[in-house]
Amino acid sequence: MKRARARRDHERSTDPARPPANLYPRGPRIGAVDPDPRGAFYVVRPCATSAGYEARPRRPLGLTTGQAAERLRAAGVEVVRDAGVVLLARAGCDVTVFPTGKLLLKTTHQAEAEVATARIAAALGLAAGDATASAPR
């Protein structure tokens, strides 16, 4: 029984077509900047040379870009383009919205990234106050 489970887990972990089960971990990720465990999103700097910030939802939202666009427009957020696989919006800075809810914020100012994340989070039906980030370590 144990062996069968171990084999299944190994096959899952090595199947390139299968996303890792721990894609959206609850805890802090490497590179996360002081993630607030209460937040729906946490804002990270993806890598040292990134020209932007990322905001990741703690759980994937599973929205289509069309649904996300509708919600954003209803909340007064400008939707620049719905490319089907991603959505381009403007909320203070340019934001790429992925169907999982991941946001790519095209700004190098963390405060601006936080404000935009809060605005998008609220528009997507999450409490605005849930979007959190703090100064990089």
Partner 1 sequence: MTRTLHAHGLVLLSGGIDSPVAAHLVQRTGATLEAVHVSLEPFTDATPEQKARRLALAVGLPSLAVVPGGDANEAFAQADPRRYFVLSKRFMLRCAERLAAERGASFLVTGENLGQVSSQTLPNLAAIDAAVSLPVLRPLLAMDKVDIMRVAERLGTLAMSQGPELCDTLGPRYPATRATAEDAAATEGRLPYEALLTKASAAAPFGPP
86 binds partner 1, rule: CB under 8 A: yes
Is the CB of residue 99 less than 8 Å from the CB of residue 113?
A: no
**Separation CA 118–CA 136 (nearest Å):** 18
Please identify, using beta-carbon distances, which residue of 19 and 125 lies nearer to partner 1. Answer: 19
134 binds partner 1 (CB under 8 A): no
Reading the block at residue 77, the tokens are 């957020």
Q: Does an H or E element contain 74, and which?
A: helix 65-74
Binding mask 11-40 for partner 1 (x = CB under 8 A): -----xx-x---------------------
d(CA 124, CA 100): 11
Nearest distance in Å: CB 3, partner 1: 28
Exactly one of 9, 38, 64, 80 binds partner 1 (CB under 8 A); which one? 80
Element (H, E) at 105: strand 103-106
Question: Which residues, including other chains, have CB under 8 Å from residue 91's CB and lie 6 or more apart?
Answer: 77, 78, 115, 116, 119, 120
Kindly tell me which residue out of 34, 67, 106, 136 binds partner 1, with binding defined by CB under 8 A.
Answer: 106
Nearer to partner 1, 41 or 53 (CB): 53
Q: Which of residues 48-67 bind partner 1 (CB under 8 A)?
A: 49-52
Which of 34, 36, 94, 112 forms a contact with partner 1 (CB under 8 A)? 94
- Nearest 10 degrees: CA dihedral of 82, 105, 68, 27? 140
- Interface ranges with partner 1 (CB under 8 A): 16-17, 19, 49-52, 80-81, 83-86, 88, 94, 96, 98, 104, 106, 108
